[in-house]
Amino acid sequence: MEIIVYVLVGVAFFLGNFLLHSKKMESKIKIVRKIVTHVVEYVEQIGNLKNLHGEQKKKLAMNLAKKVLSEMHIKISDNLLDTIIESIVFYLNLQKGVK
């Protein structure tokens, strides 16, 4: 009976850690999306003033987002950051009615 209790406590501990890690990851992803959204909006404004287009704005957004995230000690791969930037640009264009 004692062994079963130890096993159940171990399983509960494992599940608790797993859920805690999942919540931390979810929170981190929300923070990253919010930061990248602000960066993309900023780049959009600067891009209009400096007549930047397409790849120029994307490169600026990547560099600024990496810098801000790095300052917050958040590590993210270039591929994931690129995907998040593209999805935010797509969503913002949908909101503006741009196709």
Q: Give domain status of residue 18, yes or no.
A: no
Q: Is residue 87 part of a domain?
A: yes
In a domain, 24, yes or no: no
Q: Supply the pLDDT for residue 58.
A: 93
Q: What is the pTM of this model?
A: 0.73
In a domain, residue 19? The reply is no
**DSSP character at residue 51:** T
Instruction: Provide the domain limits for residue 67.
Output: 29-96
Residue 10 inside a domain? The answer is: no
> Residues near 52 by Cβ (< 8 Å), separated by ≥ 6?
43, 46, 60
The string of pLDDT tens digits covering residues 9-20 is 666 766 676 666
In this predicted structure, the answer to whether residue 67 has a pLDDT above a threshold of 90 is yes
Residue 66 belongs to some domain of the structure: yes
User: Structurally, how many domains does the chain consist of?
Assistant: 1
What integer pLDDT is reported at residue 29 of this predicted model? 83
- The verdict on residue 8 lying in a domain is no
Question: Does any domain span residue 90?
Answer: yes
